Amino acid sequence: GQNIDQPTEMTATEGAIVQINCTYQTSGFNGLFWYQQHAGEAPTFLSYNVLDGLEEKGRFSSFLSRSKGYSYLLLKELQMKDSASYLCAVEGYGGSQGNLIFGKGTKLSVKP
Amino acid sequence: SQTIHQWPATLVQPVGSPLSLECTVEGTSNPNLYWYRQAAGRGLQLLFYSVGIGQISSEVPQNLSASRPQDRQFILSSKKLLLSDSGFYLCAWTSGYEQYFGPGTRLTVT
């Protein structure tokens, strides 16, 4: 079966660092994505990992270990506007390119 | 630049009524297009995808159907809505490995 797990909720303090974990079991692997979704809005693309290692993009970094079926999203210097849901998604094999399997998302609350 | 439009933004429909949601993409040709649904407490679920005009693939059996009458138009339909069809419907397209989402339609079936 296909399964993507991530924590339901997390809370962190403004200015701090938070790590959101994601584990996956899918039939094949073509890449792992992180999206940010503010309440009532569409998801926006944050990062893409297809090889093992860390990808850094400003305050956000994403890590992937394919052998462990594991990824994390690291958010540094948290700001209040980072309060949102963070979605982990995997592109598996089969079907068309871009068919993503999404986790249920992690709701992050940033407090002052 | 590419943009994706969806309408309506919100919709309240009674059980048993028909549905038509429209998605159009600008600034690109022959995009792969996707319909997702996000129900309360659940992750985004892929419903349909299309690689070209008239080509529709369904990921899950359901009460909905999709059509692609033009290259940059993707339509989600139902003949008779169920309560379980309520949710946030998102259209998306891919550019390389990035998937871009439209603003979504929030459907409430009463």
Check whether B4 has a pLDDT greater than 60.
Answer: yes
Q: Does A111 touch chain B (CB under 8 A)?
A: no
What is the predicted pLDDT for the residue at A98?
Answer: 63
Residues 63-102 of B with CB under 8 A from A: 90, 92, 94, 97-102
What is the predicted pLDDT for the residue at B99?
Answer: 86
DSSP A75: E
Question: Cβ separation of A48 and B98 shorter than 8 Å?
Answer: yes
Check whether B85 has a pLDDT greater than 60.
Answer: yes
| B53 contacts B71 by C-beta, under 8 angstroms | yes
Structure tokens, B23: 């998605």
Residues of A in contact with B106 (CB under 8 A): 40
Question: Cβ separation of B34 and A4 shorter than 8 Å?
Answer: no
Per-residue pLDDT of chain A (112 residues; tens, 9 = 90+): 678 999 999 999 999 999 999 999 987 888 999 999 999 899 999 999 999 999 999 999 999 999 999 999 999 999 999 999 999 999 876 555 567 889 999 999 999 9
What is the predicted pLDDT for the residue at A96?
Answer: 52
Residues of A in contact with B45 (CB under 8 A): 102
Check whether B65 has a pLDDT greater than 60.
Answer: yes
Rounded Cα distance between B107 and B90, Å, is 11
What is the predicted pLDDT for the residue at A33?
Answer: 95
Residues of A in contact with B32 (CB under 8 A): 96-98
Question: Cβ separation of A98 and B59 shorter than 8 Å?
Answer: no
Average pLDDT over residues B57-85: 91
What is the predicted pLDDT for the residue at B79?
Answer: 95
Question: In this structure, what is the dihedral angle of CA atoms A63, A66, A70, A73, given to the nearest 10 degrees?
Answer: 20
Check whether B2 has a pLDDT greater than 90.
Answer: no
Q: What is the pLDDT of residues B10-60, one digit of tens each?
A: 999 999 999 999 999 998 888 899 999 999 878 899 999 999 999 998 877
